[in-house]
Amino acid sequence: MILVCYGTRPEVIKVAPVIKALQVSDLPFKTVFTGQHRELYEDVKFMVPTPDYELDVMQANQGINGVLALILNKLDVVIKKEKASMVIVQGDTSTVLASALCAFNNRVPVGHIEAGLRTFDLASPFPEEANRQLVSTIANLNWAPTELAAKRLEAEGAANVLLTGNTVVDASQSFEFPIVYGNEILVTLHRRENFINGKIEGMFKQIETLAVEHPNLNFIFPMHPNPNIQKYRRIFKKVVVTDPLNYKEMIALLSKVKFVISDSGGIQEECAALNKKILVCRNTTERPEGIDAGFAKLVDDRIIENFAWANDQPRWEGINPYGNGKAGHLIVKSIRNFFNKSTERAQETTVVSNPTGMSK
């Protein structure tokens, strides 16, 4: 039994194409939702089947280690009960690290979607950079979203590296919204490393200033429910602050905005699929392909001084570096090949250990 494990909104979006491909295959699978993003899950749950298991790991005032411990303990029971043949994870969250480690400790093969992203700075993003590096060392199948990611994995000696493209391209292409460049600016800011020394408050003030200075533009900010973000809601008077959008609503908005201001990772890939520029509000990025392609610019907290780069010439019409929307199919095909090869190796071992073919 294959177990597909996910816990956050981005994971749901990016495992959905793999689950869809599994549904039309003959490979048996079940899904496990850890509950790491309980509220945000409601916005994307239509993209995946009802989970076979919900671990409900989140508690009040819980730290990272508390989340890891609960996932390890609860998923261990599921892996043993289902006699799991593989555990599939996506990305770099606490759910990903704990699920992969739990599988590894049970000698169950691990498949890692979106493997090979790197900043090589363990503090940025934290703890995601460490999570994905650790998972790559124990994964049996590493599905790389780009050529650069594949090369990094091969240089690290990772097992079974396969270039698939990014599953978010599959997901975003499931909707067919026309691409236009209106007067809306989409804002998403929530990274943990931007909480330090009031950095994110300064970015919010810059965006409010831009909204005042550009009354012809409509700044839209679907605000993350994290209390460390919500406490700054008072700053915004001209910026339109909304609750988080479900994925279809987000793609519909992204298809018509002028450009994006964000510290998110996945939205950089969606911008590529929808031909939108993005100001990346981080000091490092594990997605340099967007910068090289010309639709992304790494600006850290210097939003105002880089605003004209996107606002004056918002159109981008390059080649998407994140694939052609067939990642889910390629991943499932590689799983089948992995199992077939494992069966062949087992048969060869049997022949060698019992060369006469006689029953013992």
Query: Which of the residues are catalytic?
Result: 92, 114, 128, 190, 192, 224
- What burial letters (b/e) apply to 104-139, b meaning 16+ CB within 10 Å? beeebbbbbbbbbbbbeeeebbebbbebbbbbbebb
Q: What are the C-alpha distances in Å from 352 to residues 324, 343, 347?
A: 43, 14, 9
Residues β-bridged to residue 87 = 3, 110
What radius of gyration do the chain's Cα atoms show? 21
- In the numeric block, the tokens 């950095």 are attached to 199
CA separation for the pair 314, 256 (Å, rounded): 12
Task: Compute CA 212 distance to the chain's CA centroid, rounded to the nearest angstrom.
Answer: 33
269 with 322: CB under 8 angstroms? yes
Q: Which of 152, 186, 337 is nearest to 256 (CA)?
A: 186
Cβ neighbours of 44 (radius 10 Å): 24
Calculate the alpha carbon distances from 147 to 163, 164, 288, 308 in Å. 7, 9, 12, 31
Distance between CA atoms of residues 116 and 129, nearest Å: 10
- According to DSSP, the residues that pair with 187 across neighbouring strands are 261
Closest CA to 113 of 186, 167, 46: 167
Measured distance CA(51)–CA(33) in Å, rounded: 6
Picking from 184, 191, 225, 221, the residue whose alpha carbon sits closest to that of residue 301 is 191
How far lies 318's CA from each of 70, 198, 239, in Å? 44, 36, 30
